[in-house]
Amino acid sequence: MPDTDTFEEKNCDSLSYLRNVPFPSGWIKESGTPPCEHLDVIVVTDEPCELGDELPVRVIGVFCRADGDNKLAAVPVSCPENDISELSDSESDTLHRLYPKLGKGEGWFGKERAEEVISDFFSRKKRKIIITVQHTESEHHINGHIGAWGEWSLTERGRQQAFEVGKWLLWEDCHRGFKMYCSDQPRAVQTAEEMNRSLNITPVYSKLIREVNAGEGNGKPRDWYREHEAPKNGYDPDYKPFPDAESDRELWDRLTPFYKQLMENDEERILIVSHGTTLSFLQSMIMGYSFEDIKKVRFSGSGGSMSKFVIEPSGKVTACYINHRIF
C-alpha cells in the first residue's frame, strides 16, 4: 500500500499458490515500489519470509514475457549459485511450473540476459535533482514562541531573505523546469511567494511536509512549553511532549509517502520549501538513512538554508551541499 508504506494480505489465490511454486515473490527495492514502475523478482529459497521482509539477493536469471513484464530470478546472497543453470533439478522444475505455456520469445534465461533486463530498466530511469529550502525568518524566531503548527508569518527580514534565496537559486536554473512542493503553513507559503518573484513557479501545497506537530504546544511561548512538556530521559522515538503531539516515528511515517512519490515519479527537477525538523527527516531519507539511523545521524539547518541532492538512475546519491546559507 504505497500511500501508507504498509503491506496488506489479499483474500485471493496467487499464481504462485495455484501452480505450487512456494518461492517468495517481491520486487527489487532500488527499482521503485508498486504500483509505480519496478522490477519483479522471485527468490529461490526455502527460508521463511513475511510480508515486508527485505532480503539481500543475487540475481541469477529472468523469465522474459511477451508483454515485457519480465520476472527476475534470484537467490539469497549467502547461496553459492551465480546462474539459473546452477539450480538443482527440483528448484528448476519448480520455477518452470510458474509459466507452463510459452509464447513466442518467452522463456527462462540466465544471468547475462537478466543483467541486460536490469540495465535496460535503469537506462530508462532519469537522474533527479532535489533542492530543499527551509523557510526564512518567521515571527516565532524572534518572539520567543514555538513554531510547529503555529500559524506564524514571515518577518519583513524573512521576506527579504526569501527573495534573496530565490535570486540565488537562479544560478541553479530553478526557474527552468523545476517542480515546487511547498508546505501549506503560512511561513512556508510566504517564503515560496518571495522566491517566486524571481523563479515564477506555481507551487504544489502539501500538508504532508508541514512542520512537526507539537499538539497543545503549537505556537505557545517557549517558557510555557518547557514548563508543561512531558519529561524525557534519553532519546525515545515515540516520545511526545504533549498527548496530541507528533512523535519522531509519526513524523517519519507522515513523510514516507511524500518521499516515495518524489523517488518514483518522472519529475527530474524538484524544489521543496518546508521546515527545519521536517527537512531534517526528508534529507535523511534522500541520503538513504533509515528511521533507526536518526537516533545518531541528523541534519540541522537554519532559516533560509538550502540543500541540493543529485540522485543517479543507479540510486547513487550525491549531496552537493547541505543547509547552505547565503546570509
* Strand ranges (E), the chain: 25-27, 40-43, 57-64, 71-76, 107-109, 128-134, 179-183, 204-206, 269-274, 306-311, 317-324
pTM of the model: 0.70
pLDDT for 220-243, tens place per residue? Answer: 999 999 999 999 999 999 999 999
Q: In this prediction, what percent of the chain has a pLDDT beyond 90?
A: 80
pLDDT: is 110 or 8 the higher one? Answer: 110
Strand 57-64 to 40-43 pairing: unpaired
Q: 43 vs 68, which has greater pLDDT? A: 43
Distances (CA, A) of 42 to 55, 63, 90, 115, 138: 11, 10, 16, 15, 52
Domain 15-124 identical in fold to domain 128-324: no
**Torsion sign (Cα): 258, 260, 265, 270:** positive
Average pLDDT over residues 184-206: 97
Compute the mean pLDDT over every residue in the chain, rounded to the nearest whole number.
93
Highest mean pLDDT among 26-35, 45-54, 90-99: 90-99
Is pLDDT larger for residue 3 or for residue 206?
Answer: 206
Mean local confidence (pLDDT), 53-79: 94
The answer to whether residue 130 scores a pLDDT higher than 90 is: yes
pLDDT confidence of residue 127: 86
- Who has greater pLDDT, 71 or 34? 71
Q: Where exactly are the structural domains of the chain?
A: 15-124, 128-324
Q: What percent of the chain has a predicted confidence (pLDDT) above 70? A: 98
| Overall fold of domain 128-324 | Rossmann fold (3.40.50)
Q: Which is more confident, 180 or 9?
A: 180
Distance of CA 218 to the CA centre of its chain: 27
| CA dist., res. 9 & res. 20, Å (int) | 19
Alpha-carbon Rg for the chain in angstroms: 24
Confidence of residue 217 (pLDDT cuts 50, 70, 90): very high
Q: What is the 3-state secondary structure (H, E, C) of 124-187?
A: HCCCEEEEEEECCCEHHHHCCECCCCCCCCECHHHHHHHHHHHHHHHHHCCCCCCEEEEECCHH
Please tell me the predicted confidence (pLDDT) of residue 254.
97
Pairing relationship of beta strands 107-109 and 57-64 according to DSSP bridges = antiparallel
CATH fold, domain 15-124, is Inorganic Pyrophosphatase (3.90.80)
Read off the pLDDT of residues 269-311 as tens digits, 9 standing for 90 and up.
Answer: 999 999 999 999 999 999 999 999 999 989 999 999 999 999 9
The per-residue pLDDT for range 31-60, each reduced to its tens digit, is 877 766 789 999 999 999 988 899 999 999
DSSP string for residues in 193-211: HHHHHHH----EEEGGGSP
User: Given pLDDT bands bounded at 50, 70 and 90, which one contains residue 154?
Assistant: very high
Strands 57-64 and 179-183: unpaired
